[in-house]
Amino acid sequence: MLYFIETYGCQMNKAESAALERQLVEHGWKAAQDAGTADLVLINTCSVRITAENRAWGRINYYASLKRARPFYLMVTGCMAERLKADMRIRQPAVDYVLGNFQKQSFGLALDAMVQGKRLEVIEESPSYAFAPSHLEPGAFRSFLPIMHGCDNFCTYCIVPYVRGRETSRDPQAILGELDDLAAAGIREVTLLGQNVNSYRWSGGGADMNFPTLLETCARRVEGSSIRRLRFLSSHPKDLSDRTMDVLAAYPVFGKHIHLCAQHGSNRVLKAMNRRYTREYYLGLVQKLRSRIPDLSLSTDILIGFPGETEEDVELTLELMREVRFAYSFMYHFNPREGTPAAVMDGALPDAVKKERLARVIALQKTITRELMASLVGTEADVLVEGVSKKREGELLARSDLDMMVVFPGEPFLIGQFAKVRLDSLRGVTFKGTMVPGDHSAQ
């Protein structure tokens, strides 16, 4: 039996797809070269924005049309599956299975039924999120490691708490056990995952642990192992503690980049979003971080065009961007998500206004990114080689400690290794570099 997986959305989805793939392999399934030969096509979906759901529906309908030519199982999982549940099969009967985020414990049973040519009629739902024991993708040199799941923040525009549920922290012994397995497998970089990692809390079995304690424990655990870089996603500003900053500064294993979601620069809009911090608080965090880690790079999310947003609010956001100088941003304009408070708020803005304001935000970020990157030309960077360049033969593509992309001449055997590279020039938003002789590492 052959499988084919398509994954959309966040890093948590990627980690969960890797866990599902591991189950497939354990049940004797093999990866198909393409969907055209697969006995099972699995689509792992995102629901954070309506555009993500529209894209997923496009793929679902595409595979539904293929089922008219040959039989195969079509399964949909992820956040859109959780949000729509049974309605999805009513809308598209060609879907054989819809597995929400709290139904993945039935995945193995569904696989067994498929092998027997049957359909699992009852999909049980767990009252709480069940973490998979492993999220290692076969052949990978980087891995995502979930440490908590869900969100209790209920930002007024966000669907995540409704499709991921309330916050659940993972047993630290399970986290450390998986970290050991990743090190034994030769993984080079690990990203700790959660919808809000800063709110990680565990109490039980004689082990009380919060996020900074977990970070420090992980840093010590990987000493001397193949894992040379630790990162984490995502981080809510209101929960970023001084202790966490101290740990990041104390252990070189942590990448010098943090994604810290600002969302907006206006206190009035932040309050309407239920973000529970002010622009002053956010800027204070940035100052504290950079006082501890001077060469830190920051990225963020910017949501523009929120209901009731004024030109003054937009200018405050632009001012925040100028002051913080993010290395890059994920920028988007507000689109209402059904079931969230913001979807029915007064003061909705015309699409043309939202798009014009977003264009200004994007233009400013491009300018800041170019200026920041230009200031680094001539310096050296520790990079993890991710693959060969798709644009130029003989070049490798790598990611720096500051989460910036670099291409440089090199041989494919360096993929999955760390190297020291001199940043010689810029090509768009990618550095062109030269490897410093003798500094790459295959440890």
| Calpha distance 83→105 (Å, rounded) | 18
User: Domain 380-435 sits in which CATH superfamily?
Assistant: Nucleic acid-binding proteins (2.40.50.140)
The reply to whether omega before 234 is within 30° of 0 (cis) is yes
- Structural contact between residues 143 and 190, judged by C-beta atoms closer than 8 angstroms: yes
Exposed, middle or buried, 23 (CB in 10 Å: 0-12/13-18/19+)?
middle
pLDDT along the chain (443 residues), means of 10: 96 96 96 96 95 95 96 96 92 95 93 92 87 91 97 96 95 97 97 96 87 98 97 95 98 97 98 98 98 97 98 98 98 95 97 98 98 98 95 93 97 96 96 84 45
Task: Please give the model's pTM, rounded to 2 decimal places.
Answer: 0.94
Q: Radius of gyration over alpha carbons of the chain, in Å?
A: 23
- pLDDT in the model for residue 122: 82
DSSP run (H or E) holding 249: helix 242-250
Residue 393 tokens read as 């033969």
H helices, E strands: number in the chain:
13, 20
Which CATH number is correct for 142-375, 3.40.50.300, 3.40.50.720, 3.80.30.20, 3.40.1120.10? 3.80.30.20
The structural domains of the chain, with segments of one domain joined by +, span: 2-115, 142-375, 380-435
Which CATH number is correct for 2-115, 3.40.50.12500, 3.30.365.10, 3.90.550.10, 3.40.50.12160? 3.40.50.12160
**Strand 148-149 to 73-78 pairing:** unpaired
Q: Whose structure tokens read 């670099």?
A: 406
- pLDDT in the model for residue 244: 98
- pLDDT in the model for residue 440: 53
